[in-house]
Amino acid sequence: MSTRTRTLEKTVSVIGTGHTPFGRLADRSLEDLVTDVVTQALDDAQAGPDEIDAAFVGQFNSGLTPLAFPSSLVLQADERLHGTPVTRVENACASGSAAVHQGIQAVLAGTARTVLVVGVEKMTHAPADLVGSALLGADYELAGRESTTGFAGLFARVAQAYAERYGDVSDAMAMVAAKNHANGVQNPWAQLRKDLGYEFCRTVSDRNPMVADPLRRTDCSPVSDGAAALVLRAGADGGALATVAGFGQANDYLPMDRRDPVAFEATALSIARAMDMAGTTLEDLDLAEVHDCFTIAELVVYEAMGLTPRGEAGRAISEGWTQPDGRLPVNLSGGLKAKGHPVGATGVSQHVLTTMQLSGRAGGMQLPRADVGLVQNMGGLGVANYATVLRSA
């Protein structure tokens, strides 16, 4: 790929957000979830549906729901949206951030002033093997040369490879789980609002069985339903909640045998691109929402963002750097781990929760000071990688 430096030619603001509870929402349809968050986001933005120039929907789907026309859901939310361009984008578990980035680009392109971004997924209704094979397909179909124990099995192999190279991080993973569960208690939308504690997360037990060695149940994010939305606008007038300082994307090979299973190089590249565009360094960040689909992923992302050198991610959690009172609080929302992971909604949710921190609206999750936040979202084992730097308005 080109190594040209990208610059942000215009100001793009987040002016409104919407979010449903994440969890098992058996009685809510995709349409209902979308309508809910679109209504919330437009109300919050004080934007009329007739002001929306374009909309983007992040949904993974991949057979989880029979509906094959996700973009059409948005028009159902309000009849004044009739005629609005709506496009679905998909990049596996990063589909939500893909939608956010396309929304940002539509504003930068000058073809839209105000853009609606929606992420949505229903997963809990599907049989576990369908969810597993859908997620697995998202990572392994092309490689497909070995049997695995599902999607958790793939990340277990990352943890194994990491341990072989740098030493065991099972305790560090348990600390990540404990931190994110403790953080999730303060998030009103989180699927799992229970402070499980380090000892529970560390110990294999009937209530915390090994899912795929070395990943215990508490190392895995849950299967979830949910939706999130935001409204983007050109410029930064009085209604801005946060502005986009930079964004970056990088894709890696699907087959694991074509790359270092522990390095997550394209994840690092996406973060570097976003930080370069924003002109920020790690020291500038007040918080980060990162993609902890499994606890090992949060550790690897610490290294991908340069918080620690390779092989030393465990220090960042064991020394408390990423706790709410640490030098870089990570996943104050509870992360995918506690908040839940309705695939297409996840990236949008990360942007919503970071915006809440930057606009002082994060309630019990609120940091005393939050001026710059990083969002990091990945599809597959670091295959599709998105990063965004948001700044308080």
Q: Report, as residue numbers or ranges, the catalytic residues.
A: 93, 341
> Are 225 and 374 contacting, i.e. CB atoms less than 8 angstroms apart?
no
Q: Say if CB 213 and CB 45 are below 8 A apart.
A: no
From the list 374, 377, 375, the residue with the least C-alpha distance to 344 is: 377
Nearer to a second copy, 102 or 218 (CB): 102
CA angle, residues 48, 114, 88, in degrees to nearest 5: 100
* Closer to a second copy by Cβ: residue 195 or 237: 237
Contact 219, 4 (CB under 8 A): no
**Rounded Cα distance, 182 and 204, in Å:** 19
Smaller CB separation from a second copy, 265 or 284: 265
Q: Which CB atom, from 138 or from 389, has the smaller least distance to a second copy?
A: 138
Closest to a second copy by CB, 113 vs 217, is 113
Question: Distance between CA 161 and CA 147 in Å, rounded?
Answer: 17
108 token code pair: 């930068």
At its nearest, how many Å lie between a second copy and the CB of residue 137? 4
Q: Which amino acid is at 24?
A: R
* Terminal-residue alpha carbon distance, the chain: 32
Q: Which sign, positive or negative, has the C-alpha torsion 213, 219, 225, 228? A: negative
**CB distance 295 to 337 below 8 Å:** yes
Q: How far is the CB of 142 from a second copy (least distance, A)?
A: 7
Q: How far is the CB of 361 from a second copy (least distance, A)?
A: 27
Nearer to a second copy, 176 or 244 (CB): 244
Report the alpha-carbon distance of residue 370 to residue 367 in Å, rounded: 6
Give the C-alpha separation, 80 to 38, whole Å.
Answer: 12
Report d(CA 210, CA 205) in Å as an integer.
8
How far apart are CB 309 and a second copy at their closest, in Å?
Answer: 21
Compute the half-sphere exposure of residue 209: CA atoms within 13 Å on the CB side of its CA.
Answer: 4
CB of 82 to a second copy, least distance (A): 7
Rg (CA), the chain: 19
Q: Between residues 48 and 197, which has the closer beta carbon with respect to a second copy?
A: 48
- Residue 322 to residue 325: CA distance in whole angstroms: 8
Q: Would you say 262 and 312 are in contact if contact means Cβ atoms under 8 Å apart?
A: no
**How far is residue 273's CA from residue 266's CA, in Å, rounded to a whole number?**
10
- Smallest gap from residue 329 Cβ to a second copy (A): 28
Shortest distance (Å) from residue 31 CB to a second copy: 7
Lateral strand order in the sheet of 372-379? 54-58, 114-121, 226-234, 12-19, 242-251, 384-392, 372-379, 287-289
- Name which of 33 and 89 has its Cβ closer to a second copy: 89
